[in-house]
Structure 1
Amino acid sequence: MSSRYEEIARDLRERIASGEYPPGTALPLMRDVAAQYEVSDITVRRAWQMLTREGLIESRRRAGMFVREHPDRVRLTVRNRQMERDELGYYSGPESQHWRALPHPDGEETRVTCAPVPADVADALGVEPGTELTVRRRIVGDPEVPEHRQLADSWIAEWVTEELPTLTGSTGNGGMYDRLEEWEKKPLQWREEVSARMPSPDEAESLLMPQIGVPLLRAIRITYFAGRGHKSERIVEVQDIRMSAALFAVGYPLSRGSSAKWPVAPASSDYYRASEPTD
């Protein structure tokens, strides 16, 4: 059985979804909501906390609670995940060609350090979680639209920093990927895994996101040199890319697998015959 505050949250959620309270609209004052539902202010506050965690409403200091712009109601920028190239090097998708490295609060564009690798990144690199690896941290974004940005942490495999130590410093025109391909004399390849999670306070601040209610889109990009079979791949880097799910969606083509190669055998040859009207 639902508690009273959950019932109030459900009612307000439905009103927001129906457009009765459109984005940017102020919700009624807490005392008015409490009187309408015949509950205490504490119960209303708990309903608002639930909707705030869902990203539907937000508190504006000294102004009250407002309906937030939400991904379902605003046009998202679709990030087409594919590797492109121009005279400056590789970039991930045509929407981000004009994006540039942005300075961190301390003024640096790229922070290069050694740090304990996160567990999921460690798994992709085949090392123990917490292993100290070189990581290149950047904020990349649209110089004309401040909130259009992403965090990109590039975790570099141990064998790469041992054999190509210059990657721990400035990588020059074309960046790390050009240096790797020049050194190996082979083309790099990439694959990605996309997921979502809530941001940390530092991530939300760096991405100019609200502290509550908006998740991250997270793409883990694995960069590798192909070998003779999957097990002989040489993974050179795992990049942890994060962006606001309130601003971006991920787009990609769906290709036909070998089992769906055209022409296909119909699932049922009786469909049209069964659909024909009978006398």
Structure 2
Amino acid sequence: MRGHAYEHVAAELREAILRGDYPPGTRLPKHADLAQRYDVSEIVIRKAVDDLKNRGLVETRGRGGTTVRERPPVRRISMDRYRADAGPQSVPQTSFTRDAGVTWSEYRLDKAYQWIIADSRLAALFAVDLGVRVLERRFVFYAKGLPSQMSRSCLLAADVEGTAVADPKNEPWPGGNIGQLGSLGVEVDEIAEETAVRMPDAEESAILNIGSGVPVFAITRRMLSRGRVVEVADPIVIPGDRAVRVDQIFL
């Protein structure tokens, strides 16, 4: 048998979890029982369970044992999602509710607003001078009660100060950023995104309940109107085990 013993145990437990033998919320057998079943030491079992934690499949809470984690549906992320914001709103929706497959009543948004001065990175993304005043908005997006995405979305004070868009009480806003800017007469006609894959920081792991070995998509987005950058999201953070990136081009 090639490989370490814990890798074989972890592989069998992983297959059992994905097969549904251990549904979400179910506790795995005690380490001693698993050690006896696989005829290995408890040290091997601990390493196997650590492997499952790193993959985001199980979690351990205090003395509650090891429990199989909930597995939200995998989201398909593409630039096409912004059509939900730009199109007519027969029912309230945003690009997030569309790609998460949730209704408005199943959507929740935590938010924190503050006025800041653009640093060198933000100024470069907006293509403005250093020191320009910006509204920084930090969001946590929930689908059916589960935290699914974080973002830091910034708007220029010159565009939004003193308007309904600058009031957090108006969130969530049907049509998202495109709808908000449209209400001010600013028509978004171009969206550019850059996507990186990295490990989450401590705050992202805690808020989004990400397994220790699971990377995230870190997306930097710029929305433009007639060549002018009117919104910067830096970053949008999505757990890598809950999404796939889909890009399409017609030739």
- TM bracket (short chain): 0.5 to 0.7
What are the superposed Cα offsets for residues 44-86 of structure 1, whole Å, 9 maximum, x if unpaired?
2111111101011111332311222335xxx456666114255
RMSD of the alignment, in Å? 4.1
Amino acid at match of 1:39: V
The CA deviation at 1:154 is: 2.2
Match of 2:164 among 172, 188, 193: 172
The CA deviation at 1:224 is: 1.6
SS for the counterpart of 2:200 is coil
5 Å-filtered alignment, 1:6-85, equals 6-71=7-72, 75-76=73-74, 81-83=81-83, 84-85=85-86
Give, in whole Å, the separation in 2 of the partners of 1:34 and 1:115. Answer: 56
Contact map agreement 1:115 1:135 (CA 8 A) in 2: no
Give, in whole Å, the separation in 1 of the partners of 2:245 and 2:13. Answer: 29
Give, in whole Å, the separation in 1 of the partners of 2:119 and 2:59. Answer: 35
SS for the counterpart of 2:150 is strand
- The answer to whether the aligner puts 1:147 opposite 2:155 as a matched pair is no
Instruction: Look up the match of 1:102.
Output: 110
Give, in whole Å, the separation in 1 of the partners of 2:205 and 2:239. Answer: 9
Where is the helix percentage greater, Structure 1 or Structure 2? 2
Q: How high is the TM-score relative to the length of structure 1?
A: 0.59
Structure 2 residues without counterparts, runs of 5 or longer: 166-178
Match of 2:231 among 233, 237, 240: 237
Instruction: Look up the match of 2:170.
Output: none
Q: How high is the TM-score relative to the length of structure 2?
A: 0.65
Equivalent residue pairs, number: 223
Give, in whole Å, the separation in 2 of the partners of 1:43 and 1:2. Answer: 13
> What percent identity do the matched residue pairs reach?
28
Change (3 A) 1:33 1:170: farther
Contact map agreement 2:53 2:211 (CA 8 A) in 1: no
Contact map agreement 1:70 1:246 (CA 8 A) in 2: no
Change (3 A) 1:53 1:123: farther
Amino acid at match of 1:56: L
Contact map agreement 1:23 1:68 (CA 8 A) in 2: yes
Contact map agreement 1:218 1:243 (CA 8 A) in 2: yes
Higher relative contact order (CA 8 A, sep 6+): 2
Instruction: Look up the match of 1:192.
Output: 193
The CA deviation at 1:139 is: 1.8
Structure 1 residues without counterparts, runs of 5 or longer: 104-108, 227-232, 259-279
